[in-house]
Amino acid sequence: MEFDELKSAWRVLETRLDAEHALTAQVFTELKLERARSVLRPLWWLLAAQLVIALGAVVLLGAFLADYWEVPRFAGPAILLDIVAVMLIVSTVGQLRVLRTIDYGQAVVSIQSRLTELSVRRAREVRWQWLLMLPLWIPLAIVVMQGIFGFDIYRVFGARWIAVNVAIGIVLTPVVVWWARRLDDRHDGFVKGVADDIAGRRLSDAMRRLDEIGAFESKP
């Protein structure tokens, strides 16, 4: 088969599409156009919610720190959580700024490149969120229990219990990464999605796409 025959095959396909014209006009009038939303709207909402939660966390942690600034066993975990919350705010604002610049009426390479950059940032951020969960749950528990219920975890469970749990969290993190990398395509659903995030498969997939677009855009 020759390349030119592909062109004639394209003509055949065009004829078939003509026959398939299921009246776009009809589709258009039947659609609830006023409800047309950007395809990126769910991501926008997700990021907005993330920003509100992170801002709320910073405010609450600030109030907590004001109360316990002179008590290092409470101030330490709160500062740690505050740093994570601020980093999350910075990252989320960056993603929202990229999202604001997305206009599907612009050139395809530029838009796909920006969308893929956004995917890379999201994949990287989500991976860190999962990875930090294990070592950070103890500082979170210390602050939440003390701040809301006045329940001093140090006094009830003791410093050794806290140290052991933090250590378990730190040790378990590479174990979870190892498990995530081993989880193959026979698994599916939510667990596989989380494993893909943790193992960095989504990140490397997005980075590969970004390289692909860069190669396409660069001069031959």
Partner 1 sequence: MTDRSVQFLALLESHQKIVFKVASLYCWDAAERDDLRQEITLQLWRAFPSYDPRRLFSTWMYRIALNVAISFARKAGRLRRIIEPLEDGGVDVPAAASAPEPDGQVDALHRCLRALDPLSRALLMMYFDERSYREIAEVLGITETNVATKISRLKQRLRRELAPAAE
The only residue of 70, 105, 156, 182 in contact with partner 1, by rule CB under 8 A: 105
Query: In angstroms, what is the minimal distance from the CB of 19 to partner 1?
Result: 4
Query: In angstroms, what is the minimal distance from the CB of 24 to partner 1?
Result: 4
Instruction: Check binding of 101 to partner 1 (CB under 8 A).
Output: no
Q: According to CB under 8 A, which residues from 192 to 211 bind partner 1?
A: 192-193, 209
- 45 by Cβ neighbours in 10 Å (0-12 / 13-18 / 19+) ranks as exposed
Q: How many helices (H) and strands (E) does the chain have?
A: 8, 0
Distance (Å, whole) CA 193 – CA 188: 7
Distance (Å, whole) CA 136 – CA 170: 9
The only residue of 87, 111, 141, 194 in contact with partner 1, by rule CB under 8 A: 111
Segment lying near partner 1 (by CB under 8 A), choices 60-68, 73-81, 105-113, 135-143: 105-113
Instruction: Check binding of 182 to partner 1 (CB under 8 A).
Output: no
Instruction: Check binding of 169 to partner 1 (CB under 8 A).
Output: no
The only residue of 14, 150, 160, 182 in contact with partner 1, by rule CB under 8 A: 14
Query: In angstroms, what is the minimal distance from the CB of 95 to partner 1?
Result: 16
When the beta carbons of 36 and 66 are compared against partner 1, the nearer one is 36
3-state secondary structure 88-123: HHHHHHHHHHHHHCCCCCCCHHHHHHHHHHHHHHHH
Instruction: Check binding of 3 to partner 1 (CB under 8 A).
Output: yes
Q: How many CA atoms, within 13 angstroms, populate the side-chain half-sphere of residue 155?
A: 6
Q: Is 200 left (phi over 0), alpha (psi -120 to 50) or beta?
A: left
Instruction: Check binding of 184 to partner 1 (CB under 8 A).
Output: no
Total length of the chain: 220
With contact defined as beta carbons under 8 Å apart, do 57 and 15 qualify? no
Distance (Å, whole) CA 123 – CA 201: 9
Distance (Å, whole) CA 65 – CA 70: 9
The only residue of 97, 160, 182, 219 in contact with partner 1, by rule CB under 8 A: 219
Instruction: Check binding of 21 to partner 1 (CB under 8 A).
Output: yes
When the beta carbons of 36 and 156 are compared against partner 1, the nearer one is 36
Interface residue list for partner 1 (CB under 8 A): 1-3, 5-10, 12-22, 24-25, 27-29, 31, 33, 36-39, 103-112, 115, 185, 188-189, 192-193, 209, 212-213, 216-217, 219-220
